[in-house]
Amino acid sequence: MYLVQFLLLSSVLFCIGVYGVLVRRNAVLVLMSIELILNAVNINFVAFGAYNRELGAAIPGEVFALFIIAVAAAEVGVGLAMVLTIYRNRKSIDIHEVDLLKG
């Protein structure tokens, strides 16, 4: 079982995703970075699920991954709607320009 390789891939994806969330200015790219993190999580769940099944545990990690895929789709739907509203109001989706509220 190639568990370590999968975990390495997922941790690299996770780090790229976190980096993207923290430094990207474009709202859509931030959303894509969050998707990267969620995909890292999915890889983890599927890899651990397969690994644990070899050990004899019966709980499938794939089921959790399916839940995450479904919920993430709903989340991104809401997020894109929000980005669209902001684009209509200010003709820009640079999240660093969204700074009316301070204090």
Partner 1 sequence: MVLLTLLASWAAQAVEVVPFDRPPIDWHALAPELTLLAVGALVTLIDVVFLERGRAISPAVAGVGLLAVLVPIVTLAVDGVASNPRAAFGTSEVYIVDGYSLVLKALFIIIAYLVILMSTNYIAEGDYWESEYYGLLLSSVLGMLVMASARDLVTVFVALELLSIPAYLLATWRKRDLRSNEAGLKYYLNGVFASALMLYGMSLLFGASGTTILVEINAAIGSTASSTALITLGIVLVIVGFGFKVSAVPFHLWAPDTYEGAPTPITAFLAVAAKGAGFVALMNMVFVGFWSRADVYAPALWVLAALTMTVGNLTALRQNNLIRLMAYSGVAQAGFMLAALAVAGQSTDVAQRSASAIVTYLIIYAAMNLGAFTIILAVSRRTGSADIASFDGLFQWAPAMAVAMTLFLASLAGIPPLGGWYAKFSVFTALIEGDVWWAYVLAGLAAINTVIAFGYYGKLASRMWFEAAPTAFETNRLKIPFALQAALGITLIATVAFGVYPEMVTHFSDVDVPAALTAAP
Burial class of residue 8, CB neighbours in 10 A (0-12, 13-18, 19+): exposed
Does 82 sit near partner 1 (CB under 8 A)? yes
Look up residue 32 and give its amino acid.
M
Nearer to partner 1, 8 or 30 (CB): 30
The Cα 61–Cα 6 span in angstroms is: 14
Q: Is 79 in the site for partner 1 (CB under 8 A)?
A: yes
Contact 86, 16 (CB under 8 A): no
Q: Which residues bind partner 1 (CB under 8 A)?
A: 2, 7, 10, 14, 17-18, 21, 27, 30, 34, 37-38, 40-41, 44-45, 47-53, 55, 57, 59, 61, 63-64, 67-68, 71, 74-75, 78-79, 81-83, 85-86, 89-90, 95, 98-103
